[in-house]
Structure 1
Amino acid sequence: MNTQLLLRPIRFPLKLKLISLFSLVLLTSLAAYAHYALTRFIEDKSAYIFSSVQSVAASQAQAINQVINESKRTLDILAFTTDAEQSRKIFENIPALIDYRVYDSDRKKFVTGIADQSGLLRSELTKDSIDLKVNQIINNHAFHKQGLKILYLFPNKPIVTLVYDRNNMIQLAQLSLNEVLASHDNSIRSYLFAPDSMPLTENDATTAQDLYKVVESSFLNVNLKQGVAEDEIDTSISLVGFKGLNSQYPLSITVIEKSKAYSVADQLIKNSYIFAVFLLSIAIIIGILFSRSLTRSLEVLFEGTQKFVLGDFSSRVDVKSKDEIGALSDSFNFMGKRIVEFMEQMKEKVRLEREVEVAKLVQDSFFPDAEGSIGNNTFSAFYAPASECGGDWWGHIEINDKTIFFIADATGHGVPAALITATANCALHTLEEVLKTNHQLGDRPDLILSWFNKAICGAGKQLYMTMLCVVVDNKNNKLIWSNAAHNPAMILSGKVLQPKRSDLIPLLSKPSAHLGKDSDSTFEMDSMDFNPKDLLILFTDGITENTNDQSQAYGDRKFHQSIIESKHESLTLWREGIITKALDFSGGAPSDDDVTLVLCQLGVADSPKDIEHISESTVISRLDPRSAINYLCNNPQIDHLVGFNSPVLEQELQAVLPPLLEFDFNWTGSAVGSFREAIDQYLNSQEFPGWFESPKDYLTLIGDELVTNALSPTSSIVSVNLSLSSQTIRIEVSDNQGHFDKGTLLHAFKRAYDQQSPKIDGRGAGLGLYLVYQSTNQIWININKNNSTKVTCILEATKRYKNFKGRVTSFHFQQENQ
């Protein structure tokens, strides 16, 4: 045997699986953690950045507000200061003030003027530019209103002009906001806009316009005083922060590019990926080292199994690890040792089983046929051992006008009990020879039991048997019996049409010892008269002591009732009914004891009928195949011809096919060569335990002949299905034509046997179907007119060729759409 066929190719080694699993788990964990941590980090960083941008804008606006308010208070102080030196000192204490003037309305001239030259220089202003704007204010009478006004006179300059009209005196101050704009992070750009959207910082006009549109759409249009928005500024995505205090103060706007704001976060993410790759690399290296130590031990175990496959069960593996694999190797070595021991035991067991099988075949030869007649009596018997060999036994002999029936039950069952039955059978044959010269012994069942007792005692100690011996004197219509501790037989009058339990008369005797107890034991003899057609019932206690799944015994009452309820003109069906009720009670579970039942109808015809009518379309047959076909041809009303010795007699009489779970073989086609190739390949791969010989030849013959007969020149398609079980083999062949009818098929059978010549139209003589009929146990033909013809053949498992060939083939015909 090529052991490589038993091994699947290793495409994904365990080592690689472990490394992949280890890496996958780590990578998944890292990815999940990184996703969670980075998501939280980005969320927190985003909140921080947005808050920072907003905070810068707010702090800038707050600083502007503080500068303006401080400058207002300074103007109040300067308004009441008349000393020029004192006024200059107050002016210099306010860094934001770069120019201060007082205009006297009555005298039409400036009475005070203070300037910060360095501040003007930083603000890129000159005295002349300020004079120009101030003169415009003085000449514009619209400004001549009491109170403070905030003006923005210089575009693109962070300069705020405060104008305070105090009756005949007007204060004018220029405030520089450069210090405010320069007080935060350089990465954040600051912008100021006058309330009328005029930019107060130097920047590109397009940029200023874009900024104001963002602020206007995001905040001003919805009456928000502050916020942060994300938008595209100067071709880059930026964060825009806004803060506005009131309608007179400048709008403070801060801008930072998003890429710069998130630069630290991006760097952290990049570093995290690098660290994850580093960890994964370390993990793979560790996984390789770990998997090597693990898979090496498994490789040793695998090599050990390879040797097991080759049949070397003495091989042992050497694994030093102190883990589960080490324990597994110890178990493997122990298993190898036990297998060797079990193989030796199995050899012995097989030898014993073969011997038991031979013993069973030998024991089966001890029993007469299950159906038949002797003298003027007809009998039907059932026997089922609890194991391969049983301890029940029954038999009969005929001497002159007398028939002697025996039924016995050895203690226990199995091989020891079977040895006792062998002794009893030998004693029977010896007795039969003795009776040929000693006719008087045939009238003394008590002496016959003594004969058997001495034989059983001579077989050995502690071997016991119960036995009932009944002598049927057909000439005088008299029963004489003697009982050695066996269940008493019963007699049921044939004159009672509807019997009751009280009509069952037991053949009672005084208590006596078992056979084999004492070689000097004596037995009592009793007698009674009988009438023709009376029924004699012999049985063993395996029926009455049969139990169900609740450990309840079947008992005498149910047994007696089954005899009454199963009464039938057919002795076979009567016996079948009694046994079926007993088996139904136990739920089909195996019996703990051997079961034997013998029904004997006294004083009837010398031989049973070849055909026993059950209904208009159903008969029980004892005919040979040729006679059965002639009978079916001459009696077209018969659709079900059932073999009398069918093991499923009751089901066949009800026209019930054996149950089917599923088919094991399927073929559909129109070429017989293709079918032969497929069925041969399938059958050669199957084993058939429980058969006297392999049924392959029978199945090949049946399938081949059925397919050949089903194919027609008109392109018919044939389907073949086959199922195997421990009890039966079932083969079904169906076509898609349905051209046959019952008469055509039956006469094809008959012509094939009589003439063995083909029909003129080339469709064959039907010889193949006749061979099928001879080679199967049940044949079912179902015709759906003009649609299909299906032939189902069933073979019943048996270990004896005699039983197979002695089985009368059952024929069932069913037709649809007539």
Structure 2
Amino acid sequence: MKIKNKFSLSFAPILILALVTYTMIALELFRKDKVAYIFSANQDGSHLASMLSENIYLAQAPLLEVIISSFSFPDGKFMATAKSHLQLTDSIKLIIIYGINNNQLELLDTVGVKSESDKAFIKEISRFEDKSALALFQEQLLIQKEFEVKRFKYEKYLLRLVLQTNAIKTLLDQPRIYHLALAKKEGQILLNSKAETNPQAQSLMTAFIKQNVIEKDFPFSKERDSFIMTWAPIRGTDLGFVTATEKEKAMSALEEMKRKSLGVMLLLVSICLFIVIKVVTGLTKNIESLSASLTSFSQGNLNEKSQISSTDEVGSLSKNFNQMTDKIKDLIAQSESKARMESELNTARRVQSLFLPQEDLETSELSIRGYIESASECGGDWWSFQELDKGCRFFIADVTGHGVAPAILTAALNAACETLREFQHLNMSDFVSYLNSVIYKCSKGELLLSLFVGEISVIENTLTYVNASHCSPMLLHTNKELDILDVVSGPHLGRSAKETYKMTSVAFLPGEKIFVYTDGLTEFTNSQGRAYGEKKLYKLIQKNTNYLLQEYMDLRTIIQTDFEDYREGLELTDDVTFIAINRKINRDNLNPTV
């Protein structure tokens, strides 16, 4: 079932219920000889009078507590704030407070007295013993509150607000077809219309109240002789308005009201049906259009646009739909681009991994073990080694930055080193100078790299190296001394086309260790913002000197484990690479004991 049909049907029960209710009320009213019609038509007068009085009472009653709070009980006088309350409202004429002992009123203080007539009124009202919440004295409406305050000399207090309004008297004086009077529940008529000339009606009203009202605190009517009596109480008080309606006069007005009411009801129903049909039709048309756009979009038509331009919620939904389709298209395009880039980066990473040693070097003389981890898909760090006739040559490099461009430069460095592998007669200085020229041709000075190249001779027990502005390696001797190879041979590779690098040689005996690393290791900061640092690295090697020299522990494993603990699972901000080189103890290389 379509939405417009549901909307239309949802109003049908309301209309049917209204018609059935109206019919049932009409039948019931006719069953009671139309008396209920007379009550319904004429109760308005008593209701209006009671509602007016009730509104006056409810509007001023909250001020009682406020005014009480402005009375100084120890002094028996109103404070200055009481006068401000009187000035803030134009509906209160006088404020009077009494102390009560032995049911006797004693005037304590007043606010608002302006004339001699006010003083005379206060003197006279002091003899008025009615303490009801709402009372009438000399056609003046009173709001009263009797309350207790302990620790003072009076048993009780009575606060009276004399109101300015004469609306009730004006209402009673208006011409009407029924008789209206303000009365107490016990039957006393307090105020009657000046136009009242029917003694029979007044006596019937008094009898009606005495016999029926005392136990009933709600509006009702009752037929008595040739009159219909109605009662409308003023809530929260013991007052109410009583009416006496002559049947003969009321019936003609009731019939006229019935005809007008039926015509108005039919007119309103017709207008409501017209508005509902028009609104529902327009709403469902836009919803159907938006639903069609959503269906088309869900079937893969990403260019679908909603054409609804209304200013209601559906129009807003249409605008949001169009914005959503644009964003989804942008996200799909971005996702495709990102997926393509990720695929290319993964390919580059796999290719770069081929430039790195696939396994560690293990010979009877040497052990070279490396570790490398990139901060992104492609890294700017690189390490490798080459076996030589008399030992081996190892490399570690760090290109400025990380990503695709540094990775490409490491590929060029790897290719150059492989090209020079067969030229073992080249000394280290010429070797690195050639590498510098290759790097400069590739980067034109835009990218630089630091490089440490070492050549180990197991025959001469030496390490010959060139340090092109790289981190200084650490050399652990068999006598437990830890040296830092801090001789810098020359600048970064790639700074200019022609650079010279000097080489340095040191002894590298069996049992000794070399640790080479990039600055990504020592510059890494943990969650507390502390860098790993060269000092920590130095102390860590010193701490494990005995285990390392006796080859109980592997230097790479020690450094890697300690670094991972320090890292605490955080992402790297720079590539981390290090090499642990162990000159194994071979008994044939040891000098015989003399």
TM-score range, shorter chain: 0.5 to 0.7
| 2:560 counterpart of 1:544 | no
CA distance in 2, matches of 1:377, 1:445: 20
Residue 470 (structure 1) aligns with: 454
Letter in 2 for 1:575: I
Q: Tell me the SS of whatever aligns to 1:358.
A: helix
| 2:391 counterpart of 1:402 | yes
Which of 478, 482, 492 is the matching residue for 2:476? Answer: 492
Residue 188 (structure 2) aligns with: 58
What is the correspondence of 1:482-561 to structure 2 with a 5 Å cutoff?
A: 482-493=466-477, 495-496=479-480, 504-510=482-488, 512-548=490-526, 553-561=531-539
| 2:314 counterpart of 1:350 | no
Letter in 2 for 1:592: T
CA distance in 1, matches of 2:51, 2:365: 111
Which of 561, 571, 589 is the matching residue for 1:590? Answer: 571
Gaps of 5+ in 1: 1-10, 25-36, 61-181, 192-210, 219-226, 242-253, 258-262, 497-502, 607-818
Q: Tell me the SS of whatever aligns to 2:500.
A: coil
Q: Is the 8 A contact 2:466 2:489 kept in 1?
A: no
Alpha-carbon shift at residue 478 of structure 1 (Å): 2.2
Distance 1:276 1:471, change over 3 A: farther
Q: Is the 8 A contact 1:19 1:291 kept in 2?
A: no
Distance 1:44 1:348, change over 3 A: closer
What is the correspondence of 1:63-82 to structure 2 with a 5 Å cutoff?
A: none
Distance 1:455 1:294, change over 3 A: same
| 2:310 counterpart of 1:310 | no
Alpha-carbon shift at residue 509 of structure 1 (Å): 1.9
| 2:341 counterpart of 1:363 | no
Letter in 2 for 1:512: G
| 2:438 counterpart of 1:455 | yes
Residue 183 (structure 1) aligns with: 199
CA distance in 1, matches of 2:526, 2:271: 68
Residue 374 (structure 2) aligns with: 385
Alpha-carbon shift at residue 523 of structure 1 (Å): 0.9
Distance 1:51 1:382, change over 3 A: farther
Alpha-carbon shift at residue 275 of structure 1 (Å): 8.7
Instruction: Note the alpha carbon deviations across 1:505-556, whole angstroms, 9 max, x for none.
Output: 2212235122223333111111222344433111111122324567665443
CA distance in 1, matches of 2:450, 2:572: 19
Residue 421 (structure 1) aligns with: 410
Letter in 2 for 1:537: F
CA distance in 2, matches of 1:17, 1:574: 76
CA distance in 2, matches of 1:281, 1:553: 82
Q: Is the 8 A contact 1:382 1:598 kept in 2?
A: yes
Letter in 1 for 2:214: V
Alpha-carbon shift at residue 574 of structure 1 (Å): 0.3
Alpha-carbon shift at residue 430 of structure 1 (Å): 2.2
Q: Is the 8 A contact 2:381 2:397 kept in 1?
A: yes
Letter in 2 for 1:474: V
CA distance in 1, matches of 2:7, 2:360: 68
Q: Is the 8 A contact 2:526 2:566 kept in 1?
A: no
Residue 109 (structure 1) aligns with: none
Alpha-carbon shift at residue 489 of structure 1 (Å): 1.2
Instruction: Note the alpha carbon deviations across 1:582-636, whole angstroms, 9 max, x for none.
Output: 423xxx4422321112222322589xxxxxxxxxxxxxxxxxxxxxxxxxxxxxx
CA distance in 1, matches of 2:528, 2:2: 54
Instruction: Note the alpha carbon deviations across 1:478-507, whole angstroms, 9 max, x for none.
Output: 2221111211211234554xxxxxx54221
Distance 1:495 1:343, change over 3 A: same
Gaps of 5+ in 2: 15-43, 55-167, 169-178, 191-197, 232-241, 246-250, 548-552, 588-594
Alpha-carbon shift at residue 391 of structure 1 (Å): 0.9
Residue 578 (structure 1) aligns with: 562
Alpha-carbon shift at residue 468 of structure 1 (Å): 0.4
Distance 1:428 1:330, change over 3 A: same
Q: Tell me the SS of whatever aligns to 1:593.
A: coil
Distance 1:482 1:411, change over 3 A: same
Residue 215 (structure 2) aligns with: 229
Alpha-carbon shift at residue 294 of structure 1 (Å): 4.5
Instruction: Note the alpha carbon deviations across 1:125-148, whole angstroms, 9 max, x for none.
Output: xxxxxxxxxxxxxxxxxxxxxxxx
Instruction: Note the alpha carbon deviations across 1:733-767, whole angstroms, 9 max, x for none.
Output: xxxxxxxxxxxxxxxxxxxxxxxxxxxxxxxxxxx
Alpha-carbon shift at residue 408 of structure 1 (Å): 0.5
CA distance in 1, matches of 2:53, 2:375: 86
Instruction: Note the alpha carbon deviations across 1:326-359, whole angstroms, 9 max, x for none.
Output: 5765665566566556655654543333222111
Alpha-carbon shift at residue 474 of structure 1 (Å): 2.9
CA distance in 2, matches of 1:372, 1:41: 107
Alpha-carbon shift at residue 18 of structure 1 (Å): 12
Alpha-carbon shift at residue 301 of structure 1 (Å): 3.5
What is the correspondence of 1:240-319 to structure 2 with a 5 Å cutoff?
A: 286=275, 288-319=277-308
Distance 1:334 1:487, change over 3 A: same
Distance 1:399 1:274, change over 3 A: farther
CA distance in 2, matches of 1:237, 1:381: 112
CA distance in 1, matches of 2:266, 2:585: 100
Q: Is the 8 A contact 1:187 1:256 kept in 2?
A: no
Instruction: Note the alpha carbon deviations across 1:75-99, whole angstroms, 9 max, x for none.
Output: xxxxxxxxxxxxxxxxxxxxxxxxx
Q: Tell me the SS of whatever aligns to 1:229.
A: coil
Alpha-carbon shift at residue 289 of structure 1 (Å): 3.3
Q: Tell me the SS of whatever aligns to 1:228.
A: coil
Q: Is the 8 A contact 1:374 1:398 kept in 2?
A: no
Distance 1:353 1:481, change over 3 A: same
Letter in 2 for 1:184: Q
CA distance in 1, matches of 2:562, 2:374: 17
Q: Is the 8 A contact 1:533 1:603 kept in 2?
A: yes
Alpha-carbon shift at residue 470 of structure 1 (Å): 1.4
CA distance in 2, matches of 1:44, 1:281: 32
